[in-house]
A = this chain, B = another copy of it.
Amino acid sequence: MRDIDDLIEKKTGLSIEEAMSIDDTNLYKKLGEETFWKLSTIFYTKVFNDEELWFRNIFKNRSLEDAIQNQVEFFIQRMGGPSYFSHRKGHPALIARHMDFNMKEKAAERWLYHMKEALSEVPAIDEDSKKRMMNYFTHTAYFLSIGVTGQQEARRNESGNL
Contacts and interface: CB of A to CB of B under 8 A. Distances in A.
Contacts of A139: 90
- The A interface is mostly helix, strand or loop, or mixed, namely helix
Contacts of A92: 91-92
A82 B158 CA distance: 38
Interface in A63-122: 82-83, 86-97, 99
A5 interface: yes
B82 A23 contact: yes
A90 B5 contact: yes
A31 interface: no
Interface of A: 1, 4-5, 16-17, 19-20, 23, 82-83, 86-97, 99, 139-140, 143, 147, 151, 154-156, 158-160, 162
Given A5-B90, A155-B155, 9 more contacts: A1-B90, A16-B87, A16-B89, A17-B87, A20-B87, A23-B86, A91-B143, A94-B96, A154-B155
Q: Nearest 9 pairs between A and B by C-beta?
A: A159-B159, A155-B155, A95-B96, A23-B83, A93-B95, A20-B86, A155-B158, A20-B87, A93-B94
